[in-house]
């Protein structure tokens, strides 16, 4: 995953099938595998915003329950709890944070 505005990359750890996307939760101490908190000046990102799921060579994005500002794939809002297939080149948006899915 790549954030063009900052040049920051978020590699997907091999051997892992589930990646929480969000920001640090100071109450529970949970840090998501893909922590976009530093990019979220508008505070539009939920602590547990979405999950990226790996099934074999396929990737799916699923918005988590309680996400207020939406999750989008190529400009289309996705439904909460419904995994949507994604591939390199897709534009993902979490609240106001735009990320490109790139091949690893």
Work out the pLDDT band at 92, boundaries 50, 70, 90. very high
The Cα–Cα gap between 56 and 74 comes to: 23
How many domains, in total, are found in the chain? 1
Sign of the alpha-carbon torsion through 66, 69, 72, 77 = positive
Residue 67 is given by DSSP the state -
CATH number of the domain within which 75 lies: 2.60.200.20
For residue 104, is pLDDT > 70? Answer: no
Q: Which domain holds residue 14?
A: 2-100
What is the average pLDDT value for the chain, to the nearest integer?
93
pLDDT score of 62: 97
Handedness of CA 99, 76, 33, 53 (dihedral sign): negative
Interatomic CA distance for residues 76 and 69, integer angstroms: 13
Q: Average pLDDT of 26-48?
A: 91
CA gap 54, 37 in Å, rounded: 22
pLDDT attached to residue 42: 87
Q: Mean pLDDT over residues 28-43, rounded?
A: 92
């Amino acid at each position: 995953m790549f954030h063009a505005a900052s040049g920051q990359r978020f590699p997907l750890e091999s051997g892992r099938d589930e990646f929480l996307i969000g920001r640090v939760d100071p109450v529970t101490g949970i840090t998501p595998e893909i922590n976009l908190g530093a990019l979220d000046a508008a505070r539009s990102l939920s602590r547990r915003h979405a999950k990226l799921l790996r099934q074999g060579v396929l990737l799916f994005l699923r918005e988590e329950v309680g996400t207020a500002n939406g999750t989008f794939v190529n400009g289309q809002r996705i439904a909460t709890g419904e995994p949507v297939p994604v591939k390199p080149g897709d534009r993902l948006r979490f609240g106001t944070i735009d990320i490109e899915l790139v091949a690893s």
